[in-house]
Amino acid sequence: MTDIPVTTWSLEQTAPGDLRPAAAPDGDVRVVRSEVPSPEFSRFLYASVGGDIRWVDRLSWTYARWQEQLARPGVETWVAYDRGTPAGYVELEPQDDGVVEIVYFGLLPAFRGRRIGGHLLSYGAARAWDLADRWPGLPQTKRVWLHTCSLDGEHAMDNYRRRGFRLFDTKVEEEAEVAAPGPWPGAYLV
């Protein structure tokens, strides 16, 4: 297996006023919180959104590990639906001292390029800022952050910056090159 250089950029917002919302996309697009922790559904979203951009770190997770992650207080999954069909998601995870990470964010390939991503990211960042309102005992959010890398979609960094996220760290590391697994063999046209 070959190692390749992967650049990881970390971005943040440090006040709710940093968020610059995107316009809502045309059509019947809704963003809904997945309130019942469902390892099956979360794994479907993870594999379907990240399959062509090499998201592999959670593919080996057991059902119990997914359940453990989803049951943590403050972990939320917000799903964008286009006419009732899951189009993408954003996963929020509270950390120490009022910090919330947008752990995963993205769209299924068929829904990219339709202005859904900016809307979903705006919605997810806003929910990160008001996370404590839904979870008594969590501190008020003071910072929202995320990371993206050179393997992610070509428009990811632009979307994050347009939503008001600012770069605070860059790292380049050698990683083993892996084939994009897709949600199943042959799922993506070449």
Indicate the CATH number for domain 3-176.
3.40.630.30
What are the residue ranges spanned by the domains of the chain? 3-176
What token pair was written down for 169?
Answer: 């760290």
Structure confidence at residue 84 (pLDDT) = 97
Q: Is the dihedral of CA 112, 141, 143, 69 positive or negative?
A: negative
Cα–Cα dist 88/55, whole Å:
14
Segment 50-57 mean pLDDT = 86
Average pLDDT for 37-48: 95
Give 155's pLDDT tier (boundaries 50, 70, 90): confident
Q: What is the pLDDT of residue 178?
A: 73
> Across the chain, what does the average pLDDT equal?
92
Residue 185's pLDDT band, with cuts at 50, 70 and 90, is: low
Whole-model pTM: value is 0.92
Question: What pLDDT shows up at residue 153?
Answer: 79
pLDDT at 68: 97
For the segment 15-34, the average pLDDT, to the nearest whole number, is 96
User: Which parts of 95-136 are beta strand (E)?
Assistant: 99-107
